[in-house]
Amino acid sequence: MTSESQFEPFEFGEYRLLRKIAIGGMSEIFLAQPLDPARHSERYVVKRLAPEIAHTSDFIEMFQTEARVATKLRHPNIVRIYDCGVTRGQCYMVMEYVEGLDCWKITRRLARLVETLPLPQVVLVLSGVLRALGYLHGLADEGGRPLGIVHRDVSPSNIYVSRRGDVKLGDFGIALLPGKEAQTERRTRLRGKIRYLSPEQVQGKPFDHRSDLFAVGVLLAELIIGRSPFRGQTDIAVLLNIRDVKLHLAEDLDDRTPPGLREILLRAMAREPEDRYSGAAPMLADLEAFASSEGPAAGPADLAATVERLLRPGDVGDQPTRLDGTPTPSALAPIGPRESRVSFDDLTPIRLVYEYRVHAAAGGAPEGPFNYGEMVERILNGVLRPDDRVSANHGPFVALSSLSDLAQHLPVLTPVTKRVDQPGLPDRRGLLQDEPVGRVFAKLSAARETGLVVFDCDATRKEVYLSEGSPVYASSNVHGELLGEYLVSKGVISRMELEMALAVLPKYQGHIGDTLVALELVDPLTLFEHITEQVRRKILDLFHWKRGEWSFYRGVLCEKRAFPLATTGTALIHEGIRQALTDAAVEEWWTSVKPSALTPVRRPEPPASEWPLGDAERRVLALVDRRIDAEEAMRIALAGTPLDRAAIIRAAAVCVAAGLIDVEK
């Protein structure tokens, strides 16, 4: 938490605010004393809306929603909310003051002493958290219907350990808000907390209480080994490791963790929610069973002794002086997307001048200077090639392919569809006039192919990497499909912010995403979601191509960051086929097909069971289980169904494009 060395106590409603504990984008938090002389020895925490938004209706409604529900929570492992109301036009709530340390400070201070929390005390902390979550997840309304509350923000700075050894879970602001508001608020708290997101949260999938249990698993690992189990040089790298549950803890766990506890941890941190514990209670039961098998359990006195040993002046009490050196990160610190808080002037101390001159391999005089963004655009447009000579910052001319920050933007293939590293001809190839994009992807998906498929049409090229038949990354030489341009078009960043990021791009190894996050122009989770959506859009655009050629290179792995999409390969292909079939195209197709017969494909690849077919598509497929006249099929399909003619025709066109039905001319 943050404190101010200069703070004058003042009266606020029925309380005297003694010192400021924390301040963030939405709220201010104070240590408070009742004005009633009979209660002068009592201490509470007062949380009130920050002055700049105190009269904003949306924030007032969010704050009051949190307060109304929070005051009903009653559990020994949950920070108690005693009161809420409005004073001086400002919403506030009065909370229990936990005199002690949060888990963030405990782990950091132990790390400075080259220590970790003893395992019996780890079990005690986690048991308290799980009891709190079990209570929260099980809350129901007056009719007995589950409320489905998910905390969404289980992290060390929200877990408090008192000087008496009590463990309490706090900060229910996100958990008690409706879904949309909670997601908005969650993004203002991401800085420093992304390591506690679950894989489904990272991928933008629906999530439930098992997401909280994943965070408990992360916390368990961190308390054992003294650091996060997810590493990465950038926030995006960390998010990728969370998505794939790539843990960095094997040696530490083997050395410090009994097998029984390791099994509990790995189950809690399973990638798929169904592989985790079904609830907090089963995980707590396993944790307590492990503790009883390991010998004497730790008690509150042991935990209290640890807290007392780690306390520093200013951690507790009424005085605002802070000497601890490890303030808890402000949970409410606002980050993007928002209006830029970084200006070009702000960047002056770190700005690096990157100028490039180019000497084309074909000869001629050197050209330039170009900035980094201009160089990237020239590479993507095919103006620059790997063997062109480039001088960076007036240095010697070297091959463009030897400059890593520029080489990463080179296409894998040359414009004549030949591999740069000369491995030979493509393994499969064809013309889109003969095989539409949907059939190309369907074939590769059915064969579970891993490699690179390249699409060329005139001067436009798209490269799509596959892993086991599913797309993991797509790049193109279309200027509007550059990540920066895409984010500007979506209103995530401004044109000026993009130019600002491009100015310092080489400082971050040429990764525009890492640059934007480092400059706090966008939060990492929002960026991650937009990158995933951009990759999806690049691929879906291909389904509108009616001509061109495609080439597949088996075994070519994606050396860039892969962003597997939330949908399966067939789901993406199905969506692409449906989007490309405009109403006019469907009618034109039906005009050419209705004099013909429809026949089933006996062994389609992929099979019908792997396609996410809709009701109309399943009806058409069931009908065409033998050779049938197209118009007759239409008449039968329309009988006794609410589906209209256009829906049936579109369904038939999708089934044909997916290779599930053939047309006999």
Q: What are phi and psi of 11, to 5 degrees?
A: -85, 140
Q: Looking at 36, 58, 83, 153, which residue is catalytic?
A: 153
Q: Within 10 A of 309 (CB to CB), how many other CB atoms are there?
A: 10
* Separation CA 239–CA 135 (nearest Å): 29
Q: List alpha helices for 138-209, DSSP H.
A: 179-187, 199-202
The sheet carrying 460-467 orders its strands as: 428-431, 549-554, 451-457, 460-467, 470-476
* Separation CA 194–CA 517 (nearest Å): 13
Peptide bond into 564 cis (omega under 30): no
- Cβ neighbors of 121 (< 8 A, separation 6 or more) are 298, 302, 303, 306
Rounded to the nearest angstrom, the gap between the alpha carbon of residue 202 and the centroid of all alpha carbons in its chain is 3
Q: Which residue has the tokens 């089963």?
A: 282
Q: What is the identity of the amino acid at 6?
A: Q
* Separation CA 566–CA 435 (nearest Å): 26
Q: What is the identity of the amino acid at 168?
A: K
Which tokens belong to 457? 């049409």
Q: Which residue has the tokens 């084309």?
A: 360
Q: Which residues make beta-bridge pairs with 628? A: 598
Has 541 been annotated as catalytic? no
Which tokens belong to 298? 């730790």
Q: Within 10 A of 43 (CB to CB), how many other CB atoms are there?
A: 17
DSSP state of 6: S
Peptide bond into 313 cis (omega under 30): no
* Separation CA 66–CA 62 (nearest Å): 6
Q: What are phi and psi of 461, to 5 degrees?
A: -135, 140
Give the chain's largest Cα–Cα span: 95
**Is residue 298 classed as helix, strand or coil in its secondary structure?**
coil
Q: What are phi and psi of 203, to 5 degrees?
A: -85, 0
DSSP state of 287: H
Q: What amino acid positions are annotated as catalytic residues? A: 153
